[in-house]
Amino acid sequence: MPPACRRRTAKKEPRRSPQPAAALEERIDEIMDRVQQADDNQVERVAALEEYLTLARAHEGEKWFDAGAWSEDLADSYLALGRVDDAVRTISDATRSGHAEGAEMLCELAEKLMRSGYEPQARLLWQHARADYPCDVWIYAQAGIGYGDIGDHAGALEWLTAGLELALRTGDPESALEQLRPLRASCLSALGRPSDEIQERAAWDEQGNTGER
C-alpha cells in the first residue's frame, strides 16, 4: 500500500527550543558558536554540524534540536566541498527520520544537483520524493522544470505527464494544472509532438471551473 498523502508544511528556520540540561545546553551552544565562527570555512562548518547532528541523533525526540534544518545546512556545506554523495545521504537520512518538510528538502537538493551537473544523484532524490510523497503534485512539477532546464525534454515530459495525471485524478486540489499544462505543452513542442488527449483533458478541467468547454 502506498504511503498516505501528506501535505507540505512551511520550512522551519534553524532554531533551538528551551530548555535542555545545563551540560547539554552548554555543548550545543559551543557547537553553534563554532558553526558561526566557521563562516565560509566549509571544512570547519562540516565538522561542527556533523557533531551537532550526531548529538541530535543521540537525543532523538528532544525538542531543542532542529536536525532537519541543520541537515540542509550540512548538505549545502558538503556540496560546497564536492562531497555530493554525503549531501544526498544527509538529506535522505533526515527525511527518513520523519521531518515534516521532507518533500521540500529532497526537491531543493535535487534542484541544486541538477544545476550542478549531478543528474544521476538528483534522479535518486526525485524518485525518493515520489515514493515517499506520492500525492504531492509539486514534486512532479519541480522535477519537470529541473529536467527542462538542462534540456532533457523527454525526461521533463515523463514527470510532467505523471503530475498532470495526478492533478486530474485528484481533482487538482493544489491548483497545479495552470502550471503543469503549459510546462508540458512546451515539452511537447520542444520534442516536435502535437498536443494530446491529456492536454485536452487538462484544458477542459481548467475551463470547467467556469462552465465552458
Q: What's the first-to-final CA gap in the chain, in angstroms?
A: 37
Q: Position 84: which residue type?
A: V
With beta carbons less than 8 A apart as the criterion, state whether 6 and 136 touch: yes
What percent of the chain has pLDDT above 70? 85
Of the candidates 153, 152, 83, 134, the residue with the CA atom closest to the CA atom of residue 113:
83
pLDDT at position 57:
87
pLDDT exceeds 70 at position 199:
yes
Q: Which H or E element spans position 86?
A: helix 84-96
pLDDT digits (tens, 9 = 90+) for 115-169: 999 999 999 999 999 998 999 999 999 999 999 999 999 999 999 999 999 999 9
Distance CA 146, CA 61 (A): 34
Place of cell 560546497: 80
What is the number of other CB atoms lying within 10 angstroms of the CB of residue 41? 12
Of the candidates 55, 114, 130, the residue with the CA atom closest to the CA atom of residue 79:
114
Entry pTM: 0.77
Using CB atoms within 10 Å of the CB of residue 34, give its burial: 0 to 12 exposed, 13 to 18 middle, 19+ buried. Answer: middle
Confidence of residue 20 (pLDDT cuts 50, 70, 90): low
